[in-house]
């Protein structure tokens, strides 16, 4: 068959159009299904029928990246939770929010939150759907009133129609607003690292990674429990009280036994989420490991495991192996997933 000039041209035009279209996922059809990774436990957050409509997902993502949620329309959730950094504020020890004000804690990654039983470093919020209220109303983050966000969305030219499409009513309420954001965050599942592939039998560790995995299992797995690499507990891992007098979990419970305890963070995606710990004082993974090797402080409520050990005994070779293993927890497909990024 002879291919005419026009045919080729038409194909090229079609391709260009298709490419342009595909750049914006709001314009193409796809289904968003929450898939529980086989080696993960049952999630705590339940999406209705394990899926959300495209309209709901698109709306949640649009809100996540929209600075309309902040007092002066400058800061969005995505400002500090950058998708390419596993939704952390890469390079910032403490997060800076509205008017460049600094908070006192390091932005936590948003990943696998459907398995979370409490949220933030101090566990102050108990439902994923309720988490957006905290940064929205925090004076140094978005400094806005929820009621005002809802008023702005209801007055917006686009949002009422989008809420109608997603939830059947064009009237934006706290429930539909927070549900949108909660569902979007629940969909941010990171379970496709090399480690996950090894567990699924689709890849194998190198000798060094395997050595590191065995070190991990004896030295780290109690708190950073597989496969989520956190046990969701609060622990004092031997850091001194910082300049903000941040007592962590104690600020929520006012229990002496909770002083200096913070949520055990997941070890997934460490490549993208530096700096580390609640105040972001560690800029490298090596410095974190050295903390456990040499710098544990015997402060109030030091975790009994660390108290007993005094320190985690690792040789330089062990450190190299452990680091190699930790690097298998990086999930490139997660941080590059266009579905999760600003459109």
Partner 1 sequence: MKKIIFIAAAFATLLASCSKETTFDTATTGKVKIKFDHIAHGKNLVLDTELYTNNSNETYSISMLKYYISNIKLTKTNGDIYEVPQNDSYFLVDESKIESLQPTFDAPEGEYIALEFNLGIDSNTNVQPLEGRLGVLDIANNDMYWSWNSGYIFFKMEGSSEASSSQDKKFRYHIGLFGGMNSPTVNNNKIIKLDLNAAGTAKVQQNLSADIHLITDVGTLFNGTTKISLAANPTVMVTGPNQEIANNYATMFTHDHTHNYQKLDE
Residues that bind partner 1 in the complex, under the rule CB under 8 A = 118, 120, 124-127, 129-130, 133-134, 136-138, 145-147, 149-150, 173-175, 177-179, 182, 251-255, 258
Q: Which residue bears the tokens 């649009």?
A: 62
User: Minimum distance from CB of 259 to partner 1 (Å)?
Assistant: 13
* CA 302/CA 260 separation, integer angstroms: 8
Helix or strand run (H / E) with residue 55: helix 54-64
Buried b (16+ CB within 10 A) or exposed e, 246-271: bbbbbebbeeeebbbbbbbbbbbbbb
Quote the crossing angle between the two packed helices 174-186 and 54-64, to the nearest 10°: 90
Q: Which is nearer to partner 1, 6 or 49 (CB)?
A: 49
User: Minimum distance from CB of 164 to partner 1 (Å)?
Assistant: 19
User: Minimum distance from CB of 152 to partner 1 (Å)?
Assistant: 12
Q: Which is nearer to partner 1, 169 or 284 (CB)?
A: 169
Q: Which is nearer to partner 1, 205 or 232 (CB)?
A: 232
Q: Which is nearer to partner 1, 109 or 182 (CB)?
A: 182
Omega before 275 within 30 of 0, i.e. cis: yes
Q: What is the dihedral of CA 120, 126, 132, 136, to 10 degrees?
A: -70
User: Minimum distance from CB of 256 to partner 1 (Å)?
Assistant: 12
User: Minimum distance from CB of 178 to partner 1 (Å)?
Assistant: 6
Q: Which is nearer to partner 1, 175 or 305 (CB)?
A: 175
Structure tokens of 306? 């660390």
Q: Which residue bears the tokens 């439902």?
A: 127
């Amino acid at each position: 068959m002879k291919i005419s000039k026009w045919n080729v041209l038409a194909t090229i035009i079609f391709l260009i159009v298709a490419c342009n279209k595909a750049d914006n996922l709001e314009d193409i059809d796809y289904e968003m299904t929450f898939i529980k990774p086989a080696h993960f436990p049952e999630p705590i957050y339940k999406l209705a029928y394990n899926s959300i409509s495209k309209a709901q997902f698109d709306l949640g993502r649009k809100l996540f990246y929209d600075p309309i949620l902040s007092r002066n329309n400058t800061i969005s959730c995505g400002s500090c939770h950058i998708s390419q950094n596993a939704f952390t504020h890469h390079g910032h020890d403490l997060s800076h929010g509205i008017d460049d004000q600094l908070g006192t804690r390091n932005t936590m990654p948003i990943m696998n939150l459907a398995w979370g039983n409490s949220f933030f470093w101090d566990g102050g919020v108990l439902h994923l759907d309720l988490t957006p209220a905290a940064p929205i109303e925090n004076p140094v983050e978005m400094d806005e009133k929820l009621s005002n966000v809802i008023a702005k969305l209801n007055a917006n030219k686009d949002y009422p129609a989008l809420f109608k499409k997603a939830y059947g009513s064009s009237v934006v309420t706290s429930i539909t607003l927070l549900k949108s954001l909660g569902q979007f965050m629940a969909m941010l599942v990171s379970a496709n690292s090399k480690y996950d592939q090894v567990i699924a039998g689709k890849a194998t560790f190198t000798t060094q990674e395997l050595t590191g995995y065995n070190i991990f299992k004896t030295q780290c797995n109690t708190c950073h429990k597989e496969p989520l690499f956190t046990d969701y507990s609060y622990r004092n891992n031997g850091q001194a009280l910082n300049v903000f007098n941040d007592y962590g979990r104690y600020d929520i419970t006012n229990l002496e036994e909770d002083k200096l305890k913070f949520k055990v963070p997941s070890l997934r995606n460490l490549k993208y989420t530096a700096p580390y710990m609640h105040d972001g004082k560690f800029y490298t993974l090596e410095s974190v490991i050295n903390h456990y090797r040499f710098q544990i402080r015997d402060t109030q409520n030091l975790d009994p495991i660390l108290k007993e050990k005094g320190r985690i005994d690792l040789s330089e070779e062990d450190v190299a192996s452990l680091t190699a293993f930790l690097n298998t927890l990086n999930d490139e497909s997660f941080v590059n997933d266009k579905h999760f990024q600003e459109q």
